[in-house]
Amino acid sequence: MVDTTADSDLLDLRKGRPAAGQDPMKRAQIIEGARRVFIDKGFEAASMNDITREAGVSKGTIYVYFENKEELFEALIEEERGTIFKNLYEVLDHFDDLRKTLVKFGMALSVKITSARVIQAQRTVVGAADRIPELGARFYERGPKRGHDRMMVFLNEAVSRGLLTIDDVDLAAYQFTELCLAGLFRQCIFSYRTKAPSQSEIEKVVRSGVDVFLKAYGSEQLFAEERASQLA
Amino acid sequence: MVDTTADSDLLDLRKGRPAAGQDPMKRAQIIEGARRVFIDKGFEAASMNDITREAGVSKGTIYVYFENKEELFEALIEEERGTIFKNLYEVLDHFDDLRKTLVKFGMALSVKITSARVIQAQRTVVGAADRIPELGARFYERGPKRGHDRMMVFLNEAVSRGLLTIDDVDLAAYQFTELCLAGLFRQCIFSYRTKAPSQSEIEKVVRSGVDVFLKAYGSEQLFAEERASQLA
DNA sequence: AGGAAATCGAACCGAGTGGTTCGAATTATT
DNA sequence: AATAATTCGAACCACTCGGTTCGATTTCCT
């Protein structure tokens, strides 16, 4: 059931009457319903009637806003992707202490990726990737790929500061990401874990991952600096 | 279409007439058809009629062998899992040179996991994991989990031989696996890559992964041995 | 208040769903 | 050749699917 009170509240906020299929409030309402249905049933099992019910919007209206089921799904995934990766990489914007920054970023990343909602979204995308490969590709490209690129910039910066010694930064960026997720992602996505890992567990994995990463790529200068700050 | 010639060949091999729903040949024939349909359409989108067509077996017969769609699917995944992880860990049974063994195992693992067929199977399982979580859990438990346990035994052996220094072997085993797949698995499963990575690309990733792993966990003894064999 | 427009709601379409049933055809054993 | 059993193949069930249509209703702007 939909909350009609909240619905009218939303409507009251509109400045003027939008053109057919152009009201962003209604659009959001539809997508929110679609989110609930698609995420917990997958693309195929989800029916437009379910979404109609869940969104509290008539079927006719949905088809004014979206061409068909697939387009609605893509719009949803597009939005999901946006909220997942938003503000995820800003930790990398200003770094002082390299190790701390890596841990902070690794934590943010790992917490996000293994959260119940994000795992479910990823499952849905993966499950649909067979039938709509472009969707999966676009999700990866505008999500994980973008983060990877950002990570490369960060690592290059660290290299040019003499803190890291890396010959293949591209590969190293992947390795860092994987180290921060060691085991967790796979367990979550196969629903071997039914709940998201705890904060402390993630911290353990990330700290160890950063240790491994820095033992492999940390420069003498970095270790010297760390020893110095240890004494102070 | 099914190859009826091959079919009768199969039938000719049978020793005696099996009980209804007990012929392993027919069962295999059904599962093979189910494999083609399920793998490339996913659980929901696949129809029993598709499978009927693809397997060249009448619908009534399928329902003699399997209770319903879900049970057929589970039987298929069970078999897939078996073939995927068979003979994967035997590389670890006798190790002489640690680095070489790790590379060999990492290669076998990475090649297998990122192969087109295995990726598709994993996508199907992941996609179905929302509706049938036990299936995903069982797949992980009897597949990746088992491999992880085997890897822990191996690492413990290496530790007791003084070649590695690891405080958390469980975590280290995960890290090793992830390092061998760095980036590849994620790209494949989201169909950002449409083809499996090349042998040489995998080798690059695995060699680097092993490097990182050994820099983090390799003991002085190991490095001394490696320097020695370098001279010889 | 009047009029234009967006939404609703429900019926409808053809196709396909998983699952069942049953007589006909095929098969292997005796 | 006769018999017993499995498989086939097709029809059938009640239901749902995505998608379309259209008149009734609600909504907002003038």
- What pLDDT was estimated at residue A21? 53
- What pLDDT was estimated at residue A99? 96
- What pLDDT was estimated at residue B231? 83
pLDDT higher than threshold 60 for residue A1: no
Complex confidence, ipTM:
0.85
- What pLDDT was estimated at residue A22? 64
Q: What confidence category does residue A188 fall into, taking pLDDT thresholds of 50, 70 and 90?
A: very high
Q: How far is the CA of B51 from the C1' of D16 (A)?
A: 20
A56 touches strand C (CB under 7 A): yes
Q: How far is the CA of A39 from the C1' of D19 (A)?
A: 22
- What pLDDT was estimated at residue B25? 83
Q: Residues near chain D (nucleic strand), Cβ < 7 A?
A: A 8, 11-12, 14-17, 46-50, 59-60, 63, 68-70; B 17-21, 23, 26, 56-61, 64
Mean pLDDT of A141-166: 97
A47 touches strand C (CB under 7 A): no
Computed over every residue of chain A, the mean pLDDT equals 88
The whole-angstrom separation of Cα B138 and Cα B140 is 5
Give the pLDDT of chain B (232 residues) as one tens digit per residue: 333 333 333 333 333 444 455 677 888 888 988 998 898 788 888 888 889 988 888 888 888 888 888 888 988 998 999 999 999 999 999 888 999 999 999 999 999 999 999 999 999 999 888 888 889 999 999 999 999 999 999 999 999 999 999 999 999 999 999 999 999 999 999 999 999 999 999 999 999 999 999 999 999 999 999 999 888 7
Nearest nucleotide (C1') to the CA of residue B46? C17
Terminal Cα distance for chain B, rounded: 61
Q: What confidence category does residue A186 fall into, taking pLDDT thresholds of 50, 70 and 90?
A: very high
- What pLDDT was estimated at residue B20? 53
- What pLDDT was estimated at residue A20? 55
**Domains of chain B, start order:** 4-66 (1.10.10.60), 81-231 (1.10.357.10)
Instruction: Tell me which of A229 and B4 has the higher pLDDT.
Output: A229
- What pLDDT was estimated at residue A208? 98
Q: B2 to chain A nearest CA, in Å?
A: 24
Share of chain A above pLDDT 70, in %: 91
Q: A78 to chain B nearest CA, in Å?
A: 14
What's the per-residue H, E or C state across chain B? Answer: CCCHHHHHHHHHCCCCCCCCCCCHHHHHHHHHHHHHHHHHHHHHHCCHHHHHHHHCCCHHHHHHHCCCHHHHHHHHHHHHHHHHHCCCCHHHCCCCCHHHHHHHHHHHHHHHHHCHHHHHHHHHHHHHCCCCHHHHHHHHHHCHHHHHHHHHHHHHHHHHCCCECCCCHHHHHHHHHHHHHCCHHHHHHCCCCCCCCCHHHHHHHHHHHHHHHHHHHECHHHHHHHHHHHHC
Residues paired with A218 in a beta bridge: A164
Q: Say which DSSP state A90 is in.
A: G
Nearest nucleotide (C1') to the CA of residue B48? C18
Mean pLDDT of A154-159: 97
Chain A residues in contact with B114 (beta carbon < 8 A):
none
Mean pLDDT of A60-69: 88
Chain A residues in contact with B192 (beta carbon < 8 A):
136-137, 140-141, 145
- What pLDDT was estimated at residue A6? 34
Q: Give residue-wise pLDDT tens across range A88-137.
A: 999 999 888 999 999 999 999 999 999 999 999 999 999 888 888 889 99
The residue of chain B with its CA nearest to that of A204 is B171
Mean pLDDT of A202-213: 98
The residue of chain B with its CA nearest to that of A125 is B190
